[in-house]
Structure 1
Amino acid sequence: MDQKKLEQSTEQLGAFEISEAMLELAQHNEKNNSVLDAGRGNPNWINTKARLAFARLIEFGVAESRRTILQGDLAGYTILDNISTRFAKFLDNGDAVDNFLLESLEFVANKFNINRDEFVKEITDGVIGNNYPVPSRVLKHSEKILNAYLQSTLYNGVDLADKTHIFPTEGGSAAIVYIFNSLRVNHLLNPGDKIAVSTPIFTPYLQIPVLNEYEMVEVDLTSSAKYNWKIQPDELAKVSDPDIKALFLVNPSNPGSMALNEHSLKQIEQLIANNPDLIIITDDVYGTFVDNFQSVYSVVPKNTLLVYSYSKLFGATGWRVGMIAAHEDNVFDRLISQLPQHQRAELDARYALNVLAPAEMNFIDRIVADSRAVGLYHTAGLSTPQQLMEVLFSLNYLLEADNGDYYVEASKAIVAKRYAALFTNLGISTNISPYNSKYYALIDIYQLAEQRYDKGFRAFLVENFEQIDFLYKLSKKSGVVVMDGAGFGAAEGIIRVSEANLPDDAYSQVATAILDLLADYNYQYKHN
């Protein structure tokens, strides 16, 4: 397929689908370079301690199961009595992983007043995965640990752990899908309703509200390069429109990488004061990459559904481990109770399969039921091994937090180093704001063209080439893949570079490839 046909066929695709097409093209690049895929946001580092602890727990679980039945490869079930004593004996090797598990046991018992045998039984059965998740929403003791983690990482000193309900999910993406589905099913968001979306934003989040089953009207709250992708007060002020039912944001933003500052958080707090029925959904997956980060959930918890994923910090995109958090006293339950009688009757009939008093069923538990089409509520919930991986990641953080978590600081340093290398080699000033997570970079190709050459060259690019042309040629010539910023709701000419998934030295190569391609375009401009 020639370039023109490829561009025409791919322009209709989403940003991630375009990136996949460019990746295939990059495999046969003209310079025979190694492919540099700076598109996806999966990190190329992992947390080792939690994973090794998971493996040790499986070993212990198998040993415990063999105590009750042992017939070749067939083992039995675990027994509660004195399981923590046997656990401590099993871990008496003195290495760092065993010590981590023993310290975790003491930490959980002392901080949360959890019975040691009960906790060891929960995590042992959890990693083995021999039972359905019970309760369906989240394992009993695990919820306390997950809450402690969220409070320590995202709330900036606000105490909400004891008042927050958690639903672990198959990553943050599943959480968003579940939320929008249940908001629709429970008549909290209806076709034709306005929803404010902070853009640029993770591209599927632009698509979900306008799909046929939702048909909501998006109101974009646009941030731009002029303000280093920081959302401006006049954009947030659009949410003052009483017809806007919900505000949806990623914080820190993807792809802008900027966290909301104190002024923005106060403005959102005032928006809720003026409109107590406003629904907020915040995806805070990048929050741990910003010092002193503060979630919207910690400011207006009763109006907010918090989405979080362990994928980026702990290098766990393949694990699919995320969660939804909701305050026990929230606007969602209140609005459901105020629905017209016929709609409440409809919902009572829907959830009557699940609970004796469906009118009293919390919204977050409705999300759990809806995630399995209601009828399979008894088999709902994230797989227990995945839940336990979340617990181990959380405990790894919580045990080190008081001493300054080396792992978290090292993760932030990685993306910061790569961010600096990219911008330095492009000759662009870096955004030094403390709210910049540096996980992604948005590069304005048109602005870069003007900076390195002149305004005439910029106009030439704008007038003669589509955005897809730059992506195509960058992949075809140098084997470098970046993402189309327009697919995230950014202006034409913006590309996104991930600082997560390439070796450190690759970012200077990405910059060189971009500048070389601009030089080719400039040659065309001068000899046109």
Structure 2
Amino acid sequence: MPIVTEEALEELSPFELSLFLEQKVHENNDERTTLLNAGRGNPNWTAPTPREAYFLLGQFAVQETLYDTEQLTGSMITEQEGREQRFLTFLAGHPGKGAAFLKKIWFSDNNYLGMPKNLWLTQIIDHIIGDNYPHPVRCLTACETPIKAYLNQELFADQAAPFDIFAVEGGTAGICYIFDTLIHNFLLKQGDKIALMLPTFAPYLEIPELPQYAFDVVKLQAKQTILEGKMSYQFPDSEINKLRDTSIKAVFVVNPSNPTANAICPSTIQLLKKIVKEDHPELMILTDDVYGTFVPEFRSLFAELPYNTTCIYSYSKYFGATGWRIGTIAVAKDNLFDDLITQLPEPLKTRLNARYASLASDPSTISFIDRIVADSRDIALNHAAGLSSPQQVMMTLFSLYSLLDEGQAYKQEVMTICHEREKLLFHTLGLEEPLKALDTAYYCEINFEEWTRKRYGAEFSNYLKNSWTVTKILTILAEKEKLMLLKANAFGSDEWSVRISLANLSTNQYAEVGQRIIHLIEDIRDEWLLTQQ
């Protein structure tokens, strides 16, 4: 590895620094100490039951393509007599949690599927085979009802206004698609003023700086506060009140937050609703709710302000499915985005009609969410848009699983894992755990300056701040202690804050994470004390 100066390391993004340090640690491999990478956000759990069901369903689907034939080429899936009985016989011959899950769905009195189950079975095994282009391109009919039911239950508190969804390649694709369509439809233009609620997922800070956007960004900063006697990161009213400025076209938020891992408290949501109602009814809201399923009674901004809000959700974290690249965009059927397009000046509407002319005889009738779909394939390839059918089947099975009792038990287990890890880490570092009701415990943020001040005193903390940088500490932490953490300043956090993932190491390793942090800091302190004698 080439020599890199300290100055060059300071310029690296948190993710690039982490990759550099990981490579450096592996090149200087010391097998006596296990590398603990607590910078990664990839969970180390999976949801086995819906996956087992997925592969069973796929195996049955393959058998159906070979029904009544011994050729190497199978048929496409079509409606056939006796399929239901063959399916139930197949499940009986493959006992296990996956088969039991599929049978629960099949025999349930609830209309989880949104259509007659025989029709659903034919469609879903066709989709898992993947022998047809996805159609409808926005979301497959056999998948739409279960996915909506899951979102409504887990994110929208069963109170969502009627909404449409677009199945996408994870939350990152959703982010890119929405930004592009807002620009293409003149809802945002280069240089417009937008607000970001911080801390946030780092790309939300980086995307607005790209030349094609160059947005004027107003930052709304969450602060540590005491809520119900516990610590939480929340937005002061003074920050939320910045949204009364009607020159701010849109506000973007990750809720619950990354890396501070807190959901927005009810009083802040009520203030935001009041601002929208009284001062800024045309405020566009984009909420990324990927961590919502880690909060016991989560309620999305989409449920509170459906008319103004577009919601992004990814299945990646909760189900341990980062490799699947599956997520969704939700937009209310009655929404601000459609109305703003109809209010555009005639010259702009003429340009939009020309842009989408190949999709409809009257392009003005194309909804905002369908414009997102079309723009995702540069319009000309709209007919071949859409998330792959097998991916949508996986989304559907994850969703159906969560609607059952076992799925709710899975949720409790996942939340318990995260909070137990947080408890071990915080106990080791001598920190009080955050307010559990709003805390995902998926990540935590540690401010080194504040922590060292409380633990070792102001004089040493001041020395650390004046003579060291977080980058230097993380570099030596990786080299000497074999511990990887992530700088949090790129998320809009304090310069001295670091993000620790509570998702990707074994639970019993989180006390060790705290011990390695303490060991390094106390080594630095001991060296400093020698200079004070």
Common topology (TM > 0.5): yes
The Cα RMSD (Å) is 1.8
8 Å CA contact 2:243, 2:280 repeated in 1 = no
* Superposition map of 1:453-472 within 5 A: 453-472=456-475
- Aligned partner of 2:61 in structure 1 is 61
How far, CA to CA, are the matches of 1:355 and 1:18 in structure 2? 48
- Aligned partner of 1:131 in structure 2 is 132
- Aligned partner of 2:43 in structure 1 is 43
How far, CA to CA, are the matches of 1:68 and 1:352 in structure 2? 46
Q: Deviations over 1:322-373 (max 9, x none)?
A: 1000000100000011111111111111111122221110111110111111
Secondary structure of the residue that 2:195 maps to in structure 1?
strand
Residues 1:398 and 1:525: Cα distance change in structure 2 (over 3 Å): same
Residue 109 of structure 1: CA displacement? 7.2
- Aligned partner of 1:510 in structure 2 is 513
How far, CA to CA, are the matches of 1:382 and 1:7 in structure 2? 43
- Aligned partner of 2:156 in structure 1 is 155
- Aligned partner of 1:242 in structure 2 is 246
Residue type of the partner of 1:77? M
How far, CA to CA, are the matches of 1:521 and 1:400 in structure 2? 51
Residue 260 of structure 1: CA displacement? 1.1
Residue 2 of structure 1: CA displacement? 8.7
- Aligned partner of 1:25 in structure 2 is 24
Residue 253 of structure 1: CA displacement? 0.4
Q: Does 1:442 align with 2:437?
A: no
8 Å CA contact 1:26, 1:481 repeated in 2 = no
8 Å CA contact 1:19, 1:483 repeated in 2 = yes
8 Å CA contact 1:15, 1:203 repeated in 2 = no
Q: Deviations over 1:6-53 (max 9, x none)?
A: 432232232212211121223236684111110111110000011111
8 Å CA contact 1:29, 1:478 repeated in 2 = no
Secondary structure of the residue that 2:218 maps to in structure 1?
strand
How far, CA to CA, are the matches of 2:373 and 2:179 in structure 1? 12
How far, CA to CA, are the matches of 1:246 and 1:136 in structure 2? 27
Give every structure 1 segment of 4 or more consecutive aligned residues whose post-TM-superposition deviation is greater than 6 Å: none
- Aligned partner of 1:77 in structure 2 is 76
* Superposition map of 1:282-301 within 5 A: 282-301=287-306
8 Å CA contact 1:26, 1:478 repeated in 2 = no
Secondary structure of the residue that 1:110 maps to in structure 2?
coil
How far, CA to CA, are the matches of 2:109 and 2:65 in structure 1? 24
- Aligned partner of 1:216 in structure 2 is 215
Q: Deviations over 1:206-226 (max 9, x none)?
A: 101111111111111111335
Residue 108 of structure 1: CA displacement? 8.2
8 Å CA contact 1:46, 1:316 repeated in 2 = yes
* Superposition map of 1:381-420 within 5 A: 381-400=386-405, 405-420=408-423
Q: Does 1:175 align with 2:207?
A: no
Unpaired segments ≥5 residues, structure 1: none
8 Å CA contact 1:44, 1:315 repeated in 2 = yes
Secondary structure of the residue that 2:119 maps to in structure 1?
helix
Unpaired segments ≥5 residues, structure 2: 227-231
* Superposition map of 1:169-318 within 5 A: 169-226=168-225, 228-273=232-277, 274-318=279-323
8 Å CA contact 1:29, 1:476 repeated in 2 = no
- Aligned partner of 1:345 in structure 2 is 350
Paired residue for 2:369, among 339, 364, 370? 364
> After alignment, is 443-452 or 304-313 more displaced?
443-452
User: Scaled by the length of structure 1, what TM-score is found?
Assistant: 0.95
* Superposition map of 1:4-15 within 5 A: 5-15=4-14
Percent identity between matched residues is 37
8 Å CA contact 2:38, 2:483 repeated in 1 = yes
Secondary structure of the residue that 1:329 maps to in structure 2?
coil
How far, CA to CA, are the matches of 1:68 and 1:275 in structure 2? 64
Residue 489 of structure 1: CA displacement? 1.0
Residue type of the partner of 2:498? I
Secondary structure of the residue that 2:11 maps to in structure 1?
coil
Residue type of the partner of 1:53? A
How far, CA to CA, are the matches of 1:58 and 1:108 in structure 2? 24
Question: Number of paired residues?
Answer: 522
How far, CA to CA, are the matches of 1:415 and 1:464 in structure 2? 35
Residues 1:512 and 1:352: Cα distance change in structure 2 (over 3 Å): same
- Aligned partner of 2:229 in structure 1 is none
Residues 1:38 and 1:6: Cα distance change in structure 2 (over 3 Å): farther
Residue 71 of structure 1: CA displacement? 2.1
How far, CA to CA, are the matches of 1:257 and 1:152 in structure 2? 21
Residues 1:214 and 1:68: Cα distance change in structure 2 (over 3 Å): farther
8 Å CA contact 2:223, 2:236 repeated in 1 = no
How far, CA to CA, are the matches of 2:109 and 2:486 in structure 1? 43
Residue type of the partner of 1:98? A
> After alignment, is 485-494 or 387-396 more displaced?
485-494
How far, CA to CA, are the matches of 2:460 and 2:144 in structure 1? 57
How far, CA to CA, are the matches of 2:207 and 2:21 in structure 1? 24
Secondary structure of the residue that 1:301 maps to in structure 2?
coil
8 Å CA contact 2:190, 2:214 repeated in 1 = yes
Residue 70 of structure 1: CA displacement? 4.3
Secondary structure of the residue that 1:365 maps to in structure 2?
helix
User: Scaled by the length of structure 2, what TM-score is found?
Assistant: 0.94
How far, CA to CA, are the matches of 1:369 and 1:85 in structure 2? 40
Q: Does 1:321 align with 2:320?
A: no
